[in-house]
Amino acid sequence: MAQTPESVLKEIRGKDFKPVYFLYGDEPYYIDLIAEELEKRVVSEAEKGFNQFVIYGKDTDIASILGYAKRYPFMAERQLVLVKEANKLSGMDQKEQLARLEEYALNPLASTVLVFCYHDKADERRTHIKAFSKKGTLVQSKRLYDNKLPEWVTSYCHTHGVKISPKAVQMLVSNIGNDLKRIVSEIQKILINLKAGEGVDADLIEKYVGISKEYNVFEFQKALMHRDVEKANRIATYFAANLRDNPLAPILIILYGFFSKVLLTHASSDRSEQGLASLLGVNPFFVKDYTLATRNYPVAKVADIIHSLRQTDAQMKGVESGSVQDGELLRELVFTIIH
């Protein structure tokens, strides 16, 4: 059975190393983070030249990897064999090779830490993968659902002793999307420049991440929510003139998610803050946005908006769009939504 990335990181930081690790999943952040932590701690800097091997799957095969794993460390307690991009490893589709891998995973060399970074989904029911959990560690790194990102960002900042405002969280999530490595990189950039006792707010996001406080998807959504014609058109015009930094596809995904939640709010019998927050999977701070949107957009209009978003997505992909550019599609969408 797979362990959580957090529990494995805690073990590694406590120098509780296992002889074999199989890290897999569609979220690269935790796979890479665990690998980095092992690189820092398994072998000392002075011993790395002889006892640390970083190998890429596309350049080798299972037999060669096992050859490294079965050697003994040179004048050291242990060695690290780290296989990056293991999903590209030759032999992962061959029964004989997988049988050799399974045999090693069940009887690993105690002085070797063998790590497979498999950047893809994997079937835990397969015997060669099950074998890693017997004497070692199996870790699944799942991509977070979009509605879990705000909570994750808030928690990440909290673990680093910093508070982050809900608006700052929403700016990050709306503009960066489901890319934990990039989100962490941007947060770290801010933390380096943060003064003692200072929290992360929208001003700092604008200053260090480069997301405009005024011209961003969060503010665009807010303008549509309020049916603010002037502001929505001003932001749409800015986006249309800067499509490289503000591509249409992510904007449509965010708006589709928002208006789908507005539709759910319309249908909910529980209008309490906690009830709606649970139903929509959002921070209670944002529940008022959805209740406001239900007042500004009747249920039939919301259904029409969702249809328009799907239609715009099809046109963006070339279905019956002719020569209409993305910027023009966005301006037309704003008109359709608000009027």
CA 5 – CA 142 distance, rounded (Å): 10
| 71 φ, ψ (degrees, to nearest 5) | -80, 160
Q: Report the predicted TM-score, pTM, of the whole model to 2 decimal places.
A: 0.78
| 56 φ, ψ (degrees, to nearest 5) | -100, 135
Q: Does 203 score more than 70 pLDDT?
A: yes
Q: Does 47 score more than 90 pLDDT?
A: yes
Q: Does 318 score more than 90 pLDDT?
A: no
Per the CB < 8 A criterion, the answer to whether 251 and 239 are in contact is yes
Distances (CA, A) of 317 to 241, 248, 306, 313, 320: 19, 11, 17, 6, 9
Mean pLDDT of the chain: 92
Q: Output the furthest CA–CA distance in the chain (Å, rounded).
A: 75
pLDDT tens string 155-186 = 999 999 999 998 899 889 888 888 999 999 99
Q: Does 93 score more than 80 pLDDT?
A: no
Angle at 160 between CA 155 and CA 166, to 5 degrees: 45
Mean pLDDT within 185-199: 91
Q: Provide the pLDDT for residue 321.
A: 60
Q: Provide the pLDDT for residue 284.
A: 85
Report residue 41 CA to chain centroid gap. 25
Mean pLDDT within 285-307: 95
Q: Does 106 score more than 80 pLDDT?
A: yes
CA 141 – CA 87 distance, rounded (Å): 14
Q: Does 323 score more than 80 pLDDT?
A: no
Angle at 80 between CA 79 and CA 82, to 5 degrees: 160
Mean pLDDT within 40-59: 94
pLDDT bracket for residue 282 (50, 70, 90) = confident
pLDDT bracket for residue 245 (50, 70, 90) = confident
> What residue type is 327 in one-letter code?
G
pLDDT bracket for residue 80 (50, 70, 90) = very high
| % of the chain with per-residue pLDDT over 70 | 99
Per the CB < 8 A criterion, the answer to whether 235 and 255 are in contact is no
Question: Of 251, 189, 188, 267, nearest to 218 (Cα)?
Answer: 251
pLDDT bracket for residue 322 (50, 70, 90) = low
Per the CB < 8 A criterion, the answer to whether 73 and 51 are in contact is yes
CA 27 – CA 179 distance, rounded (Å): 9
Domains and CATH numbers, the chain: 5-140 (3.40.50.300), 146-209 (1.10.8.60), 217-338 (1.20.272.10)
Pull the structure tokens for residue 304.
Answer: 């029409």
Mean pLDDT within 234-246: 91
289 has which bridge partners?
none
